[in-house]
Amino acid sequence: MRVLLDFWVGQELVGEQLLIVGLGNPDMDYADTRHNLGFACVQELARRLGVRVDRKRWQSLAGSSEDRAVWLMLPQTFMNQSGQAVVKALRDLNLTPHRMWVVHDELDLPLCRMRIRSGGSGAGHNGVLSIISALGTPDFVRFRVGIGKPARKGSPAGRHYVLGRFTKAESARLPNIVDGVATALELALEAGVERSMEQFNRAGSLGCEELP
């Protein structure tokens, strides 16, 4: 309970490590798809922190910042087996799920909207569901990055939609989205998750016009 409370009052536990996980699929065929938005956001955070996420560890690519006491991780297991990699990392680092943040795409939010929350269901996201199942708890922080839903009847649905590539209009918004999510992560590292929630859990916080 103490660890969870520290998230909500905007404090970090001194000396304890943190694991930030970006979700996606490893093959180049999936590199620019909606489902890999979590990868892109964590890679931008890594660039800002000067962290190389290229160590092969825990069935993932990983890297760490000693100054920030944070590990960044991109599971290479494919989305629906992300939990396998996460369990190995938490066990090896001797961390509880409360010391993990997961960044992932979210169908239930429009493009250009993000919502940060702790706990809750997986909302049908196979990567999040895999992590919940592997850990036996939903109690970890998620940075849910909206990708919208198929715009009209006859559009690709579910799996086909998330594995599809962004449209031209969507792609034009991606730099703002990735930049905004990385900024939200940095703010959470510096001032706590609650502070980041206050600033980014609202329309317009990512600096681009929302698309449903």
What helix, strand, coil percent values describe the chain, rounded to 5? 45, 20, 35
Q: Are residues 118 and 4 in contact, defined by beta-carbon separation less than 8 angstroms?
A: yes
The answer to whether residues 86 and 80 touch, using CB atoms and an 8 Å cutoff, is no
In the annotation, is 35 catalytic? Answer: yes
Catalytic residue, chosen from 35, 98, 104, 125, is 35
Spell out a b/e string for 95-114, using b for 16 or more CB atoms within 10 Å of the CB, else e. bebbbbbbbbbbbebbbbbb
Active-site positions read 35
